[in-house]
Amino acid sequence: DTEVTQTPKHLVMGMTNKKSLKCEQHMGHRAMYWYKQKAKKPPELMFVYSYEKLSINESVPSRFSPECPNSSLLNLHLHALQPEDSALYLCASSLGTGFYEQYFGPGTRLTVT
Amino acid sequence: KQEVTQIPAALSVPEGENLVLNCSFTDSAIYNLQWFRQDPGKGLTSLLLIQSSQREQTSGRLNASLDKSSGRSTLYIAASQPGDSATYLCAVPDSNYQLIWGAGTKLIIKP
């Protein structure tokens, strides 16, 4: 099973809302990633978790707060977002943070109004 | 600093044709190269990962080649089908294991 699942598929939120994105994998991978992708652009790395510890934070604003409750789950908590944060948010996982193949989920399409 | 380029940005071919997508990188000291497919508004599907020690990797109608010395990889798609229409991205990891991405080639297969 090489599947990464993400919920919800679509999310519309106001600038004062708090919401969370969820990502799950059951491949035994120990590295998990959050990416942000704007239309017609490649993904931009936001966060990397390795063995449930945050290892990379690409200077992402604090209105995005990642959480890794266990080795299979990755959350992205959203608060006080701006309209420019509207994008496709992708989760990925890999065996580790070395030179391993990354597997991506279907993404959450986020619209901030 | 590694840079990855994909040319052309868009390609339209009739169904049934064989085609080649290109990916170039500036630093030949790569560990591997990964090809992805992305349908509009969807996530990325990993197609092939080719290790630096490999020259080719095949999966069904897809064949990826790697020439480190010239800084190039190609993705060959045989007997193209309308279902192959998508954006194809290549990526190489940098020394911090983070993927450096090309901008993608949007492929349209005309029935």
Q: Is B97 on the interface with A (CB under 8 A)?
A: yes
pLDDT band at residue B7, thresholds of 50, 70 and 90?
Answer: very high
Tell me how far apart the alpha carbons of residues A78 and A81 are, in angstroms, rounded to a whole number: 7
pLDDT at B41: 87
* Mean pLDDT of the residues in chain B: 95
**Mean pLDDT across A76-89:** 96
Tens-place pLDDT, residues A31-40: 999 999 999 9
> In the block, which residue shows the tokens 């020690």?
B53
Name the nearest CA neighbour of B65 among B52, B56, B76, B77: B56
- Residue A47: which region, alpha, beta or left (left: phi > 0; alpha: psi -120 to 50)? beta
**Mean pLDDT across A46-62:** 90
Task: Note whether B44 and B52 are within 8 A (CB).
Answer: no
**DSSP annotation string for A73-108:** EEEEEEES--GGG-EEEEEEEESSSSS---EE---E
Radius of gyration of chain A (CA): 13
Tell me how far apart the alpha carbons of residues B11 and A30 are, in angstroms, rounded to a whole number: 37
Tell me which chain B residues have a C-beta less than 8 angstroms from the C-beta of A56: 96, 98
Structure tokens at A8: 């919800």
Structure tokens at B10: 């868009």
Share of chain A above pLDDT 90, in %: 85
Tell me which chain B residues have a C-beta less than 8 angstroms from the C-beta of A101: 34, 46, 49
Which helix (H) or strand (E) segment holds residue A22: the answer is: strand A18-25
Does A2 score more than 70 pLDDT? no
pLDDT at A67: 96
**Mean pLDDT across A74-102:** 94
Structure tokens at B107: 């492929």
Share of chain B above pLDDT 70, in %: 100
Tens-place pLDDT, residues B84-111: 999 999 999 988 888 999 999 999 999 9
pLDDT at B58: 96
Tens-place pLDDT, residues B68-85: 999 999 999 999 999 999
Q: Is A86 on the interface with B (CB under 8 A)?
A: no
Does A58 score more than 90 pLDDT? no
Tell me how far apart the alpha carbons of residues A67 and A83 are, in angstroms, rounded to a whole number: 23
Q: Is A38 on the interface with B (CB under 8 A)?
A: no
Structure tokens at B48: 């092939």
Q: Which of A7, A100, A108 to mutate against chain B (most B CBs within 10 Å)?
A: A100
Does B62 score more than 80 pLDDT? yes
